[in-house]
Structure 1
Amino acid sequence: MNGAVYLESLTDNNGVQYVNVPADHPYQLVQMGFSYEEALELHQKALNQRRLKRQTGQKQGLLEQARQQMGPLQDAVDLNMATEQEIHALNAWKAYRVALHRLDPSKGKITWPDRPEWGAISSVE
């Protein structure tokens, strides 16, 4: 994984509140007064926070891409101007969007659905 690892907020054993605490390595937290076991747990929490933030952002970005692809296709369908290929493409993008919505970024590593390819979706020629 690239980039620094931070805990968004942390209260130490003396009740002092910190924000954006570096947690790349457990020893950084041990130096703040946490036991090694606590530091390992906090380090894992920081890794989980980073993964959740990254995966949530990626999910939102992919949903936006799907929305942008679906708009013109849906317009063509609504205006009875869609080709068979456009209808199949729209259905593929809708299925993709449903698959994205069903993903839970908090559940660990995500297997992302395959993105539809514009123009290569239809078996109709």
Structure 2
Amino acid sequence: MTQQNAADVIKARYKAWMEAIRNKDLDTVMDMYADDATYMPPGRKPIVGKAAVRQNWAAYLQRDSFVANYTPTIQVSQSGDMAFDIGHYEISMKKDGQPVTFVGKYVVVWRLIDGQWKAVVDIDNDNGPSA
């Protein structure tokens, strides 16, 4: 698989990931993560292991009108088995019945595991309030 083909496959995984979030499809969201994945949400300690990441995403998907949109920029390693994405996100939901939006940046490290790209490290960093 060429680096460009790998990047295209990962971008397709992102599309499925965002669709799964909109559909509140926890199993498909979790299919994106490796068993030993680490998720680092803004303002909280790292969440390690797929079971803990699943618990976190289950809570996210229970939020009213939760939608996430990520803009991936994929870089694939020369060896073709690792990739990283440095991008931007926008997350919207309702909090106390009112719409809120968070804008930030993220990094996802991907590893090719048994022929499928899986997120092994996922970190979000909110931009904070706009000036």
Task: Pick the structure with more helix per residue.
Answer: 1
Return the structure number with greater relative CO, CA threshold 8 A, min gap 6: 2
Task: Pick the structure with more strand per residue.
Answer: 2
